[in-house]
Each structure stands twice: as structure tokens, then as C-alpha cells.
Chains A and B, each alone.
Chain A
Amino acid sequence: MAAKADAIQARRATGFARKDLLMTAGIVVVGAVLFFFGRYGADPGETAAFTDQELGRLFSLPSQATLYALAGLALLFGGLRLFRSLGSLRSVLGWGLAAAVVFAFLVWVTSGTSLNLSGMLQDTLKLATPLVLGAMAGIFCERSGIINIAIEGMMLTAAFSAACFASIFDSLWMGILVGVISGGLMALLHAWLSIKYKVDQIISGTVINILAAGATRFLNVRLADPAGMSAPGKFDPIAIPVLSKIPVLGPILFNQQPTVYLMLILLVVVQFVIFSTPWGLRMRACGEHPRAADTVGVNVNRMRYLGVILGGMIAGIGGAYFSIGEVGSFEDGMTRGAGFIALAAMIFGKWNPVGAFGAALLFGFADALQVKMQSIEPLLPFANVPIPPEFLQMTPYILTIFVLAGAIGSAIGPAAEGKPYEKQ
């Protein structure tokens, strides 16, 4: 408390908070880096061409000039952030800055060659899908007051059972259904441990993660793989009749595998249910102030069970995305930490599905870009070596740390999270 009071005092005295100054300094550095890339990373006459697989060339930009312009834009945002009267626009400015940096990076990568932009955006949406689903799972769980670091375990379980049952029933849709059920069952275990037995919710989540990693591998080696049950094949993209013919936007949004559509539908539904229905209000009340919710007649623990299980079921779709949506078979530990990145996307998006969607798109884009860069291999200025792909794979993780360190002050989760509720 004392530290907070000091900070407020300091802001009154100087007009700036220290954090603001740091952020601004960071933005200035970003602008300088963009200038540097523009000056030394791209040759004067070079252009960056962006194409589409059907329409051919969409547009091309002179790379150096574009990079300079984007650097100027970044500096402008940095300056605007300092005006306190624009405080309400900060998150917009933040997203604008992120977009400018991402686009500048894209221009630098493409400089002197061409890039299939719409194909890449299609990949971005696809790669963001499990992250959005995981983040929504986390939102359901945490809005009702239970911390959920078990998204990874729920997704892994679902990935395995979806693959197994898809080959047993010889139907990928059955695979999704069983994935949803198994995700829900893992969530039930999490809810049971943390609500009934009041196990520390982070420990309970860790248990789910360890159990899922061990159990899926065990069952895969002992039963599923020898019986040939772990490779059922995968969904083909389904083109939605009329909509997929829209130029540029059509292939991106309407020619995807079913889990992507499910994600988009759920995104709208979950956002509506949590923030615009009385039921959603009650659920959020359980996460913010369970005693108050109890007083007006909400059964807090039942609400929490529901929130966790619904979350687990959504995570189940995210798990099915990996095995029967993307790869076509189950592999050990195939979620590769997506559950944790989803968690970061949730925090990034301030426990709000649409915000989490934005964050997930950012992470998905970094992933798609990294795949592209392996073929283009742009050279770093001066050093003249390509950036190793592993470093690009690190970006979502590093970004997550920065987001947590920078945003946690402004993004505070549901107040009663992590505390078991005892009726009095």
C-alpha cells in the first residue's frame, strides 16, 4: 500500500509515473531500431511485394520509405502516450504500436522479394485457434474464481483421446466430441480437487499437467500405438460455399478446418454469455466477490464447477485441433506449451475473450512469420547472418514475459481467484 501511495505522490509531483517514462523510453528504442533496419537492413531501391495466391500481386511498398514512416509512427505513439488526457486511448495506442512494429518487421523480411500475405494471414488464424480456445477455457475457469494452469494438460488429454476415438469410431467428428468430453473430465478433476478438497489451485493444475503428460504417453505406447489407433488422419479445410469466394478475405476466414470455425463461433458466444447475460454476471460475481454472490442466492461452488468444466470442454476442442485438425496423429507432448501461451493470451487480453483473441493472433502471427522466415532467410544488417529460427520461436515466450511484467499492473484478474470458498 505504501508503495502505491508513493507512486501516486510521485505522479502528482512530476506529472509522469516512472512506468510511463520507462515505457516511452522503450518505444523510442523501438523507433530507433526500426530506423536502423530501414537505413541498413534494406537497400534504397528495394520494394516489398505482397501477393495473394489467387489475385497475384496485391501491393508493393518501397521498403526503406515504409520503414522510416513506421518508425515515425512508433515515435508518435510513444509521444501521445505521455498525454494524460489521452489515457483512455492507451490500449488503442498500444495495439497500434504493436501493429506498426509487426508490419515493419514484415516489410523488412519481404524487402527485395515477395510474400504470400493472405496465405500467411490464413496460417495466422489457424495457428491462433488453439491459443484462443485455451484462453477461453482459462477465462471461463478464472472468471468463476479458479486459477487454471492446467489448460496444457486438458488440451493434451483431449488431443490423445480425440485421436484414439476418431479411429475407433472412424469419424473425426466423434473425435472432437470425445476430445470435448475428456477435456471436461480433466477439468472435473481439477474442480473436484480445488473445490471439494481445497487443494492449492496451482498445485492441482500442475498435477493435471503431469498426469496428462504421463498418462497420454503411457496409454499411447501401451495401447493406442500398437493397435494403430493414434493416427486417424485429419480434417480437410471446408470451404463455405459463397463466402469463401470473397477475394482476399474469403480464403482467410472461410476456407479453414472445422475447429477454426468452432473457435470463431465460440468466441462470439462466450463473449456474449459472460458479459451480456444474467448468468454470466453471476459467474463473474463468484470470481470477484463470492460472499456477495452467495448472499443473493448464487450457489458459488456449483457455479465454479460449471465454469471449470465448461472451460475444460472448450480446451478439449483446442486439443482436438492438434491431433485430428493439424497433424493427423497423436505425438508425445504435441501441444508444446500452447496451453501456457494461451494463459498468457488470456492475461494479455485482460480476461476478455475478444482481447485474448487479439493477443492470440499476435502470437499466431509470430509463429506463421517464423515458418516463412525459414524459407526467406533474411540477413541481419552488418552481421550478415540469418536469424536462427529458434530465436523466432522464442518470441511468443519472450513477449509473454514482457506482457506479464508490463501489463500486470493494469490487468488485474478476478479478485477472489485462488481462494477456496467456504459457506458461512
Chain B
Amino acid sequence: MAEQRRPSGLRARLAALPAWSRLLLLAILVAAAVVLSKWLILLLLVALGLWPIVLLLGLGVLALLSRGRGGWPWMKGWLRGRLRGLTLPGLAVLTALVIGGIILMVTDKAVFEAMGEGKIFQGLGLAFANWGKAYWALYEGALGNPVRILTAIGRAFSGEGLQPLLSAVRGPSDTLVQSVPYIFAGLAVAIGFRAGLFNIGAEGQIGIGWLAAVIVGFSLKTLPAYILLPLSVLTGMFAAGIWAGIAGWLRAKTGAHEVITTIMLNYISYRLSEWLLCGPLENVQGTCRSQDIAEAAFLPRFLGHPVTVHWGFILAIIAVLLSAWYLFKTTWGFELRTVGANPHAAKYGGMNVAKSIVLTMFLSGCLAGLAGVSQGLGITHNIALGFQAGYGFDSIALALLGKSNPVGVLGASLLFGVLRAGASRMQSMAGVPTEIVQIVQSLVIVFIAAPAIIQSIYRLRKLKREETEATVVTRGWGA
């Protein structure tokens, strides 16, 4: 844990400074980051694409640091402390990917045909070759081709401009773009889990947020960007928050289970958007699509085509930090977690359980709404029928995978962003339907929710107790 370490020299010196100068320092840092944002994002994308090199560099730096602190034993302890919680999720993802690969192989038609002609070994070879091709396409679509990135860097330094580099880091950029809605939606479900609430309605809340943000974005075209952009972001966020708040209110007042009410609200929101998009909001007859939002409402992009990373990514990172702060450093967050751990104790301790439930569902909805907002204002710039892309349901897996911890959700979202960004390339390159990713994701949930399976596959005995305990969110249909 970070708090328990002895403060380093720099940290102690910073803490000794007066508050105003610390704030000033922070402001200067933020301003510098905003000014340099373009280059920082490019650096991040390159680092993602060249992650093995970055990993090795990191280990090298760690080894250098460890020389003054006791060498290898210290480094081992440090690494173990960082990796301890990752065994189970890592193995779960690995196992799910392997099973996904096996499913790919046994459903391969070319393999069937080869086997049918009696060429068993050829068939097997083909199966593995196709599997390899599919997963390589997945990797390349999500993280880019490292060789291409390296040559593009070389060409950029030799004065050929940034364009080759930009197209080489398209994979990492797609991954980040895909992970933005995942981060928001995953946080939404995770916050619910912390309060013992299961928000399955993220999908509908995403739609409501998207819809509201886009409506504001195209109907108030005359406003300048510094008003219109925040206004549409906030409208989308609060609309979704209120939408989810209905379920929270019903749960708190009548005991109607939020699993059913949020699912019902999902279907209501689908019908609502069908009516709006093919009716009053339809721009061109027969398209079931709204008109485009004003340029002032766009979430700006950092770099040129084909890199589409936009400011939604920064918002998502801020959302991660804010949720972590809210959950673990504020009184309301403490109440929320207590209600989740034991509502009776919370009530006995004088906490307002009903308030906590309604507030949590509202915040959860706000976060889910931001997922829609970031898609609408950052990527599509309008809303069309069939916008539901399954982010809401995948987010359940994210919250489980990240153990309902905001930082964990961030990691899980990046992973799912990789899967999703790679899936479309896998479809175009290897002809594998993108739904294989959905199967892999549901397997991940199974393995995370039932750690005993992973434990018995890998004969692990050393998993900590907290890791083997299954998450519990159910309390029957009643209150």
C-alpha cells in the first residue's frame, strides 16, 4: 500500500511546502500537460505499441534503484507486492483466451474439410495456423506492429514527418478509444457493487447519456465551445444519472430489485430511442439517425487522422481518480461501502441507507452516461439506431475483473479495449466473427467469479483467502 511506505525525500519536502504553493505547482504541472498533451499522448501510444521494450526498460530502472537498497531481495519483494493481486485475473484471462482459441479451432470450416478428406495432420496444422493468424491479427489491431512503429520512429527522426508514425500507432490509439466507454461503464458497475447494488442497466444509461448529450450538442448550435461542450457533457451525465436514480429510488422506497428494474429501464430506453431516432429526431428520412452536433460540442482529438484518441480519455482517467477518492477518502464513500458490506450494521450505525442507495445509483448512472457522452461527442458526433454496442454488459465483467477497485477497472478496461480493438481487425483479416470476444469475456467472468476453477486447473494452493472468496451481490428479490 502506498500510504504505508515511508515518504521519500521528495515527497516529504513537497508535503512541507505551504498549501498555496503546492496548488500552484499542481496548476503549473496541469497546464504543462495540457500544452504538451499532443506529445504526451503520442508518447503513450508509442509506449503501448512497444510495451515489451518499455517493460524491459522499467525492469532496468528498478534494478538500478535496487542497487542502493539491498539488491535482488528488495526488488523481488517490490515486484511481488505489485503483482500479488494479479495472479488470479492474469490466469483467468489467459485461460479464457486459450479456450477461445480452442473454440476457434473446432469451429473452423477449412479444418473440417481437411479432416473430412482424411488429412488429419494437415487439418491440425491448418487449425493451429488459423488460430495463430487470428490472434496475431487481434494483437496487431490492438497494439500495432512493433517493427512498423520502430521504422516509423526512425523515419520521423530523419525528417519525413509524423504521418507514418501516426498510422503505425493506430492500433494502440484504437485500444485507448475503445477503452474509454469501458472505463466509465466499468466504474459505474464497480461503484454499484461496492454498495451491494447490481446495476445491469449500464447499457440503457449509456444510451440515455448519449442521446441527451447529442440533443444538446445539435440544438444549441450558436453557443461557443466553452459553454456548449461542458453543457452537453453535463446534460448527458445527469440525464443518465437520473435514469439510473429511478431504479435506486424504487429499490430504496419499495424494495423492487434493481436487477429487474434496471433491465426493464434498459428496454424502455431502447424503445424510447427507437421512437426518437426514427421519429422526431430523424435527420434524413429512412436513416434513423440524428443530425450531427455542432463542431463546438466535439470532444477535441489530440492528433490527426487516423489516430482518434480524444479528450474523453482524459475525462476517463479523471473519473478513475475521482471515484477512487470518493470511495476511499470521503464519508459518503465510507457509508456507501458500509451499506454494501452490511446494510443492517450501516442502519444500526445511524447511516441513511436509503440515501446511500439512491445516491450510489445516481452516481453509477452518471458514470455510465459519460460512456455514452464520450462516444457521442468524441467519436460518432451523432446518434443512430443500433448504437448499443454491449459496453453495458461487458462492464459487469470489468467490475469483477478489477475487483470493484477504480484502478483495477482501469486496467481491466485497457485489456478489454485491446480485445475489442483487435476483434474488428481479426474479423477483417482472419474472418473470425467479433463475437468470439464476447465468449472470451464471459469466460473471464466465470473464472473471476469462481476462483476455485482456476485454482484447480493450475493447482494453486497459495492464493490468499480474500482472492478465493466469491463476490456476493445477491440478497434475494426482497429488500
CB distance A215 to B470 under 8 Å? Answer: no
CB distance A413 to B476 under 8 Å? Answer: yes
| Nearest opposing residue in chain B for A217, CB measure | B435
A76 to chain B, nearest CB (A): 26
Cβ contacts under 8 Å, B433 to chain A: 217-218, 221-222
Chain B positions 232-275 with a Cβ under 8 Å from a chain A Cβ? 250, 253-257, 259-261, 263-265, 267-268, 271-272, 274-275
CB distance B452 to A408 under 8 Å? Answer: no
CB distance B250 to A405 under 8 Å? Answer: yes
Measured CA separation A81–B271 after assembly (Å): 34
CB distance B477 to A413 under 8 Å? Answer: yes
CB distance B267 to A203 under 8 Å? Answer: no
Q: Does A198 sit within 8 A of B, measured CB to CB?
A: yes
Which secondary structure dominates chain B's binding surface?
helix
Q: Does A417 sit within 8 A of B, measured CB to CB?
A: yes
Known: A393-B271, A405-B254. A207 touches B446 (CB 8 A): yes
Contact of B435 among A149, A214, A226, A337 (CB under 8 A): A214
A218 to chain B, nearest CB (A): 4
Cβ contacts under 8 Å, A70 to chain B: none
Measured CA separation A14–B165 after assembly (Å): 77
Q: Does A67 sit within 8 A of B, measured CB to CB?
A: no
Q: Does B109 sit within 8 A of A, measured CB to CB?
A: yes
Measured CA separation A401–B256 after assembly (Å): 8
Q: Does A59 sit within 8 A of B, measured CB to CB?
A: no
CB distance A201 to B474 under 8 Å? Answer: yes
Contact of B446 among A193, A202, A337 (CB under 8 A): A193
| Nearest opposing residue in chain B for A415, CB measure | B476
Contact of A394 among B103, B263, B272, B445 (CB under 8 A): B272
Hey, what's the 0/1 contact readout for A98-126 against B, CB within 8 Å counting as 1? 00000000000000000000000000000
| Nearest opposing residue in chain A for B247, CB measure | A401
CB distance A199 to B470 under 8 Å? Answer: yes
Hey, what's the 0/1 contact readout for A192-204 against B, CB within 8 Å counting as 1? 0100011111111
CB distance A202 to B449 under 8 Å? Answer: no
Cβ contacts under 8 Å, B103 to chain A: 218
Measured CA separation A200–B472 after assembly (Å): 5
Measured CA separation A391–B436 after assembly (Å): 35
Q: Does B118 sit within 8 A of A, measured CB to CB?
A: no
| Nearest opposing residue in chain A for B257, CB measure | A404
Measured CA separation A7–B27 after assembly (Å): 54
Q: Does A162 sit within 8 A of B, measured CB to CB?
A: no
Measured CA separation A140–B450 after assembly (Å): 24
Q: Does A56 sit within 8 A of B, measured CB to CB?
A: no
A414 to chain B, nearest CB (A): 8
| Nearest opposing residue in chain A for B438, CB measure | A214
Q: Does B439 sit within 8 A of A, measured CB to CB?
A: yes
CB distance B478 to A412 under 8 Å? Answer: yes
Known: A213-B438, A394-B272, A401-B256. A197 touches B474 (CB 8 A): no
Measured CA separation A340–B257 after assembly (Å): 13
Cβ contacts under 8 Å, B450 to chain A: 193, 197-199
Q: Which range contains the number of A residues in contact with the other chain? A: 35 or more
A341 to chain B, nearest CB (A): 9
Q: Does A157 sit within 8 A of B, measured CB to CB?
A: no
| Nearest opposing residue in chain A for B254, CB measure | A405
Cβ contacts under 8 Å, B272 to chain A: 390, 394
CB distance B453 to A197 under 8 Å? Answer: yes
| Nearest opposing residue in chain A for B260, CB measure | A404
Cβ contacts under 8 Å, A219 to chain B: 107
Contact of B449 among A207, A209, A400 (CB under 8 A): A207
Q: Does B421 sit within 8 A of A, measured CB to CB?
A: no
Q: Does A33 sit within 8 A of B, measured CB to CB?
A: no
CB distance A394 to B268 under 8 Å? Answer: yes
CB distance A200 to B473 under 8 Å? Answer: yes
Known: A214-B439, A222-B433, A337-B263. A203 touches B445 (CB 8 A): yes
Total B residues in contact with A, Cβ cutoff 8 Å: 54
CB distance A409 to B260 under 8 Å? Answer: no
| Nearest opposing residue in chain B for A346, CB measure | B477
Q: Does A359 sit within 8 A of B, measured CB to CB?
A: no
Chain B positions 427-479 with a Cβ under 8 Å from a chain A Cβ? 432-433, 435-439, 441-443, 445-446, 449-450, 452-453, 470-478
A216 to chain B, nearest CB (A): 9
B92 to chain A, nearest CB (A): 13
CB distance A202 to B198 under 8 Å? Answer: yes
B273 to chain A, nearest CB (A): 9
Cβ contacts under 8 Å, A398 to chain B: 264, 268
Q: Does A237 sit within 8 A of B, measured CB to CB?
A: no
Q: Does A44 sit within 8 A of B, measured CB to CB?
A: no
Cβ contacts under 8 Å, A217 to chain B: 433, 435, 438
Cβ contacts under 8 Å, A409 to chain B: 254-255
Contact of A388 among B279, B400, B473 (CB under 8 A): B279
Measured CA separation A168–B473 after assembly (Å): 42
CB distance A197 to B473 under 8 Å? Answer: no
CB distance B260 to A390 under 8 Å? Answer: no
B60 to chain A, nearest CB (A): 41
CB distance A222 to B107 under 8 Å? Answer: yes
B205 to chain A, nearest CB (A): 15
Measured CA separation A170–B279 after assembly (Å): 43
Q: Does B195 sit within 8 A of A, measured CB to CB?
A: no
A397 to chain B, nearest CB (A): 4
Q: Does A418 sit within 8 A of B, measured CB to CB?
A: yes
CB distance A347 to B445 under 8 Å? Answer: no
Cβ contacts under 8 Å, B271 to chain A: 390-391, 393-394, 397
Measured CA separation A343–B259 after assembly (Å): 11
Contact of A340 among B263, B453, B475 (CB under 8 A): B263
Known: A217-B435, A221-B433. A200 touches B274 (CB 8 A): no
| Nearest opposing residue in chain B for A214, CB measure | B438
Pairs A–B under 8 Å by Cβ, sample size 8: A203-B400, A213-B393, A344-B264, A347-B477, A401-B264, A404-B254, A408-B477, A417-B477
The 9 closest A-B pairs by CB, nearest first: A214-B438, A390-B275, A197-B450, A218-B435, A404-B256, A211-B442, A405-B254, A418-B474, A221-B433
Residues of chain B at the chain A interface (Cβ within 8 Å): 103, 107, 109, 198, 200, 250, 253-257, 259-261, 263-265, 267-268, 271-272, 274-275, 279, 393-394, 396-397, 400, 432-433, 435-439, 441-443, 445-446, 449-450, 452-453, 470-478
Residues of chain A at the chain B interface (Cβ within 8 Å): 147, 149, 193, 197-204, 206-207, 209-211, 213-215, 217-219, 221-223, 226, 337, 340, 343-344, 347, 388, 390-391, 393-394, 397-398, 400-401, 404-406, 408-409, 412-413, 417-418
Other A-B pairs, 20, CB within 8 Å; known A214-B436, A222-B432: A147-B474, A197-B450, A200-B473, A202-B259, A202-B473, A206-B396, A211-B443, A213-B393, A215-B435, A215-B439, A217-B435, A218-B439, A390-B272, A394-B272, A398-B268, A401-B264, A404-B254, A405-B254, A408-B477, A408-B478
